[in-house]
Amino acid sequence: MENRKEGAGMSGEPDIASYAEGLRERLRHLLQGVPQRELARRLGIPNQSFNRYFHGTMPPAWLCSHIVSVLGVNPSWLLTGEGEAFLADINAGNKQTAENLLELVQAMNSVAKMRLGALTGKQHYKVLRELNDAFLQLEDLRAKINVNTLPVFQQIYKDLWKALETNDLDRAASLVTAGDQVSRICDDAQCRRGFSYLKSAYLYKFGDIDGFVRQLHEVVRLYAMEGEHPDDAGWKRIGSFMIALLSSWRGRQARSLCDAYLGLSHDSQAPRAAIDYLKSWSGYFDLEAGEWEIGQLKIGEAFRSSQQWDLSRPEALPTNVERVRQILKMHLWTSMYYSRTISVREMLAAECSSNFKVTFLAPVLCWERDPDVLSDFITSLERAEMDEQEASSPAFKALRALTFEQFSRMRRVLEAKRANSSKTGGKALQPGASSSEEVRLFADLMNAEVATLSGASREAAALVLANDARLHGATNLTPPLLFRAMHYRNVLETMPRPSASQRDAVRRAKRFFENHLSKSYHCF
């Protein structure tokens, strides 16, 4: 199930000829044990007319409806080939499953009624035998129910995949609910892992980032609990997890998740490319956490190893090798920028998607405060097209749009300062009430930055102080390192003579820069 390739599109013109042949094949299936003339008689259709639908003529909708109502055929099976052929078969299966579930509950009650304290009495051997019999009955019934529910679980998985591919979130929501219920009584490991992965994708599309993180940890837990490792398709998903978490400013969670996957890769048959990819991400998260030395070592090792991947074995490589190598290069360049080995212009020259530009380059430009570089970035962001993954994420689209607007304001203020003009960035931008938490925090940080650059000291100090309280309060968000640095720079610029209420913020800002400068972050 998990070997199915991600991103298989649902677009394109339908193959009418293939569909018609499939429908005719299902009509022929109905003839098993029944002469065609007899079937035509039951349907009230002349046999000669009925015969045409088996040899070239597309069976019309009215005939399909008539077959369903007269013969009790399952409409889903007739039209798509999915499910049981006859509704009676479905009911029989449901009845058997219900009976098994009832027996399972009864068996569990039998186990629960066993008093373990009785094992110390004279009848303990008898009680042990009864307890063992009850457990055997329980396990036998669970196995039967697993057989009965497995096809249902597999169908939910397939339907959920289709719903997510077509971005049908209403249908996906119903399927996730159904899958949650079935997963409680179906023990198939592959189905449970596959469903957990799809549920995480649904939660991300729906904007529930915290739920998305929890579900990804559940996928790791299922692999670890079963002593197994992700297959090639599973390893290829990991990168999309990292990008999604980083774009959502869940750096701490992304770091722990990456290290958990990296732990799974030890002593396993994980492809070399997957291990390199994980190691590079782990190094990047070390950079963001203030551990430049260990981070750049991991990134350097992964980057050098990536240049030696065996391109003759595509099954062991990422789906898009160049995209992954591009990510590894961005990790490397970020580490080099932090140590001032390369310039912002060299980073901006990289050809990458709009997701990479917002994720990796936007924080750098905020720190640089160069209007010319900002202008070039805005132009490149306008020209960069969103890929399928980016376009399907409401959170990313909102963040991209807000980045464009805020950087345009920032550029205007910087150009005005260079021309000794008093022009301000205009009214602060506020995202909609339904915007995600990271989008709202990004807007607040940028509003404070524009106010600081505009010279509105009192307004800027109030905004910066409110942001400082938020960053050090109860939040799951971890803004990128350079956004945090931008905030602390604003703290020091707007509070040169701190009041009693500002001293803690100033103390934290000084400690931030002292700590990072001592660890080779020469960009500060």
Ranges of the chain whose pLDDT falls below 50? 1-13, 87-94, 98, 101, 115-120
Residue 406's pLDDT is 82
Provide the residue type at 139 as one letter: E
Domain ranges of the chain: 16-85, 376-517
The whole-angstrom separation of Cα 427 and Cα 249 is 25
Residue 7's pLDDT is 39
The pair of three-digit structure tokens given for residue 511, joined into one six-digit string: 């400690």
Residue 19's pLDDT is 73
pLDDT digits (tens, 9 = 90+) for 277-321: 889 999 999 999 999 999 999 999 999 998 888 877 776 677 777
The whole-angstrom separation of Cα 299 and Cα 322 is 17
User: CATH classification of 16-85 is 3.40.50.2000, yes or no?
Assistant: no
Backbone angles phi, psi at 73, to 5 degrees: -80, 145
Unique residue bearing structure tokens 């720190």: 367
Instruction: Please report, for residues 66, 382, 402, 487, the alpha-carbon distance to residue 444 in angstroms, rounded to integers and kept in the order given.
Output: 62, 23, 11, 10
Burial class (CB in 10 A: 0-12, 13-18, 19+), 32: exposed
Residue 13's pLDDT is 47
pLDDT digits (tens, 9 = 90+) for 72-131: 777 767 777 766 665 444 444 445 554 554 555 555 555 555 544 444 455 555 655 665
Residue 107's pLDDT is 53
